[in-house]
Structure 1
Amino acid sequence: MRTTLNLNEIVAQWLSECDILPSTARDYERKLALWFRWLSAAGVDTRSPERRHVVEYKQYLQREGRSLLTVNSLVTVVKLFYGFCERRGYCDNIAAGIRSSRRRSGYSKLPLTAEQARRLLESIDTTIVIGRRDRLMLSLMLFNGLRTCEVERIDLGDFAEREGEPVLAVQRKGRTEKNEIVVLHPDTVERLAEYVADRPWNASAPLFISHKPGCDNRLVRQTIGRIVKQRLACIGLSHPKLSAHSLRHTFGALMVEQGVDIETVKDMMGHSDTRTTRIYVEMAQQRKLLHHSPSRAVGNLILSDLNRTDD
């Protein structure tokens, strides 16, 4: 680095100039810390890495079995940081031209079937507070398609009634305000009452918290994702394409299967464009072809004609 500033100061300067949400800034800082940690472990001076080290870091992440999305995300943060450093004259952009990994076709996450979703909810022991928390959390993701970041942001004061209907104010991904509402299923309302029954009321307090002794911190999205993965594993659903986001995909795919029009699905999912929503139409069509494949009807028709000829 051609500056007397230390790395923490440079990172803070970079983040302060990024036009991003505070949560995104924290995510960038965390991902950049992984890069510096890898450099240290590899015996490389964190102030003077070379281009080959970025390539080696990318290859290391791939060998670790990180998803293509994760690898691209981690490397992109490194590229953004060194692009800033070059503009400031601190160092050359050692990550310039490093290509993102090519994503294979297909969906990154799979939805659950309605039967799998039911088994998932029924597997949770709600006689304990952690079970009541997780049952409510998974219900919101399955019945309302909430993302993990949207679940993380829920406060006790976000619940209300509108025209006699129970609703939740949601801060969507990339938004700064809770300016959308979702209508709650009666089962969710019941689970909410059970979970918060023994909690002191504070409108700005987080809904989902850690229940470890002496700890009532807000659950962050990484923890929420880990909880969902653990709950899925408990019913025998362990697959790289099954995660917390699968619950959101489940909501979208099942809406399409129930005949909900695409504009309504778009609004329910919080999408700004129906092109994004098309994924759920494709998921529903693939499932329809899987269980009601026209090839069976064609095969039966051919075989029936063959049997008549044999007669």
Structure 2
Amino acid sequence: MSREISVITSGPVLPGLIAEAGDGATRRFFEFFTANIRNPNTRAAYARAVAHFLRWCEERHLSLKGIEPIAVAAYVEQLQATHAAPSVKQHLAAVRMLFDWLVTGQVVPTNPAASVRGPKHVVKRGKTPVLSAEDARKLLDSIDTTTIIGLRDRALIATMVYSFARVSAVLGMKVEDYYQNGKRWWLRLHEKGGKFHEVPAHHNTEAYLDAYIEAAGIAGDSKGPIFRTVRGRSKTLTPKPLRRNNALDMVKRRALAAGLPARICNHTFRATGITAYLEAGGTIEKAQQIAAHESPKTTKLYDRTSDQITLDEIEKIVI
């Protein structure tokens, strides 16, 4: 059982505190990470957070049923000395969700984390680096498209920029997810939680995808991934999808070659697209809809239209 949990959660082996509570607790713990959390990144992060908390409890000789709110509060207080507020809040969320799961499974009577408050953390501006429209165009134009790799990379970056999509949503696309609807072509993006989000393809995205798909000869492979890895020195495409770390390496390499900041990342293009859209007169509400954000507050984090302070504003200070 512990080996299965380790493999599926990409986290630590079954904590001793859970094992000591019996088979029911072990199975419920296992189900929490498999049946309850579908996103692999969230699963791994929560596994690390839960393991850290339960190890802390074990060091203080607490049993699973003996964990009380005061213990959780003490853990949160101690964690704030070494972790940033967002990380502490994630740890607390993981512990709270685990105990909710254990309560509904009748493993423990109450959730000791339910009444514990995390540190206050308000974010009004995102930290994702953003490119200007000019630099984004410079990056796209700098890519050598005489090779299949260049065509792929340009199409991938353009898809992220013009659809405001997460890199995972784009890399999860199959060939059939770029499809014609009437006179326009659409993108079917694979979002979190197994959801699909459909948006019209910008004319640049359409042109770049068409060029790449035609050169790659993958139009007939409807169930295959659009963005694929490359096979060694032959520089030919494989049937395997490009992974996020491969995409990040590519973005860093392309940015460096174009003379752009090295801190650019995959998420840069989501923020860049939203900012360019708002600068052109788009609304937060429509940007939220395109980006598939649950809240306009999230979309606002990507809005950098008010970041620059102009000299005219400074000159208004008349003393």
Inter-partner Cα distance in structure 1 for 2:123 and 2:301 = 15
Shift in alpha-carbon separation, 1:74–1:154, aligned structure 2, 3 A: farther
Aligned length: 285
Inter-partner Cα distance in structure 1 for 2:98 and 2:44 = 13
Q: How many Å apart are 1:255 and its aligned residue? A: 1.4
1:202 maps to a residue whose letter is D
The answer on 1:144 being equivalent to 2:158 is no
Other-structure match for 1:31: 45
* Most deviating of 197-206 and 126-135: 126-135
Other-structure match for 1:254: 276
**Structure 1: gaps of 5 or more residues:** 304-311
Other-structure match for 1:306: none
Inter-partner Cα distance in structure 1 for 2:152 and 2:88 = 32
Q: How many Å apart are 1:138 and its aligned residue? A: 0.8
The answer on 1:218 being equivalent to 2:232 is no
Inter-partner Cα distance in structure 2 for 1:81 and 1:274 = 29
1:85 to 85, 97, 102: 102
Normalization by structure 2: what TM-score? 0.68
Q: How many Å apart are 1:113 and its aligned residue? A: 0.8
**Structure 2: gaps of 5 or more residues:** 1-17
Inter-partner Cα distance in structure 2 for 1:158 and 1:113 = 29
Other-structure match for 1:198: 216
| Contact 1:150–1:172, Cα closer than 8 Å, also in 2 | yes
Normalization by structure 1: what TM-score? 0.69
Q: How many Å apart are 1:141 and its aligned residue? A: 1.1
Other-structure match for 2:90: 73
Give the root-mean-square deviation of aligned CA atoms: 4.2
1:284 maps to a residue whose letter is T
Other-structure match for 2:304: 283
3-state SS of the aligned residue for 2:187? strand
Q: How many Å apart are 1:155 and its aligned residue? A: 0.8
| Contact 2:143–2:154, Cα closer than 8 Å, also in 1 | yes
1:1-311 to 2 correspondence within 5 Å? Answer: 1=18, 2-4=21-23, 7=26, 9-15=27-33, 18=36, 22=38, 24=39, 26-35=40-49, 55=76, 58=79, 62=83, 69=86, 72-90=89-107, 97=116, 99-100=118-119, 102-103=121-122, 105-174=124-193, 176-178=195-197, 180-186=198-204, 188-195=206-213, 197-200=215-218, 201-213=220-232, 216-221=239-244, 224-225=247-248, 227-229=250-252, 231-232=254-255, 235-239=259-263, 242-271=264-293, 274=296, 276-279=298-301, 283-287=304-308, 290-291=309-310, 293-296=312-315, 298=316
3-state SS of the aligned residue for 1:167? strand
Q: Deviations over 1:88-138 (max 9, x none)?
A: 354585655262562454323242111221233244344444433222111
Q: Percent of aligned pairs with the same residue?
A: 20
Other-structure match for 2:12: none
Inter-partner Cα distance in structure 1 for 2:126 and 2:204 = 31
1:198 maps to a residue whose letter is A
Inter-partner Cα distance in structure 1 for 2:141 and 2:311 = 28
Q: How many Å apart are 1:243 and its aligned residue? A: 3.3
| Contact 2:128–2:268, Cα closer than 8 Å, also in 1 | yes
Inter-partner Cα distance in structure 2 for 1:6 and 1:58 = 26
Inter-partner Cα distance in structure 1 for 2:253 and 2:188 = 27
| Contact 1:71–1:101, Cα closer than 8 Å, also in 2 | no
Q: Deviations over 1:286-309 (max 9, x none)?
A: 33xx2464233x36xx69xxxxxx
